[in-house]
Amino acid sequence: MISTKKTELLPDSTQLQATCKAMAVLDAILCQDWVYRYHSYNSLWADGEEFFEMRNGEGDQLLMLFTKDGAVINGFFSEAEQDDKIKLTDQLPNCFHEFIFGEPVHSAGTTFCLWKTAGQDWKTGIIAANDDHSAELLSPFDGQPSTYMLWATDYFKGNYTASGIPLDTVTRIYNQETLTKEMVLSLVDTLEDWEQLIEDLEEISYPYHI
């Protein structure tokens, strides 16, 4: 299971970014009310920077930044023992300092931090806690469409078609295929606001033909 102790199981930053976009697209279809979504993605966060957020409504968060230099992940688990952030970010590259020490990360809090630059493996700082609960937050990001499908089947119960969430559609979105109306309607019987979905797709920077 992916964790700060098993960083080799975490996909590379390119695949992770694709997974994050896919999760955000699927959430945008299954739940048009942004407040109740788990995953959101902003491709226009800043010049050359793209931002992903996972929040579960119980205080736990993952905040990720993707840049030309690589990617950095800030994790906060509300029930985890809080370590010294300076130790958690030991040897963090300077290119990620503004994000990790600025907002919204500063207000969210940090219980673990991982980063990856070009040609390097995922790295983390000094972790003193016996369990930083990183496995709970990172395990959904294994890049497997079935992982999302199983989670969403429970979380979005009542929002999708009676036949269930089709793994084929989830897989196509994980593969970054152009989203079509047919794909959307394989997930939900009706979509209340197509313009809202288009706005979401533009923000995510995901290809569509609707």
Q: Which pLDDT value is given to residue 73?
A: 98
Task: Report the alpha-carbon distance of residue 160 to residue 195 in Å, rounded.
Answer: 19
Pairing mode of beta strands 208-209, 39-46: unpaired
Contacts of 2 (CB under 8 A, 6+ apart): 9, 10, 134, 135, 138, 139, 141, 142
Task: Report the alpha-carbon distance of residue 168 to residue 153 in Å, rounded.
Answer: 14
Tokens 């709970």: give the residue.
136
Strand partners, 40: 53
Record the pTM: 0.95
Q: Which pLDDT value is given to residue 86?
A: 93
Q: Which pLDDT value is given to residue 140?
A: 95
Tokens 């930044």: give the residue.
65
- Residue-wise pLDDT tens for the chain (210 aa)? 899 999 999 999 999 999 999 999 999 999 999 888 999 999 999 999 999 999 988 889 999 999 998 999 999 998 877 788 999 999 999 999 999 999 999 999 999 999 999 889 999 999 877 788 899 999 999 999 999 999 999 999 999 999 999 999 999 999 999 999 999 999 999 999 999 999 999 999 999 999
Q: Which pLDDT value is given to residue 95?
A: 95
Q: Which pLDDT value is given to residue 65?
A: 98
Q: Which pLDDT value is given to residue 56?
A: 87
Q: Which pLDDT value is given to residue 34?
A: 87
Q: Which pLDDT value is given to residue 98?
A: 96
Mind spelling out the 3-state secondary structure of the chain? CCCCCCHHHCCCHHHHHHHHHHHHHHHHHHCCCHHHCCEEEEEEEECCEEEEEEECCCCCEEEEEEECCEEEEEEECCCCCCCCHHHHCCCCCHHHHHHHHCCCHHHHCCCEEEEEECCCCCEECCCCCCCCCHHHHHHHHCCCHHHHHHHHHHHCCCCCCCCCCCHHHHHHHHCCCCEEHHHHHHHCCCCCCHHHHHHHHHHHCCCEEC
Task: Report the alpha-carbon distance of residue 46 to residue 23 in Å, rounded.
Answer: 21
Q: Which pLDDT value is given to residue 139?
A: 94
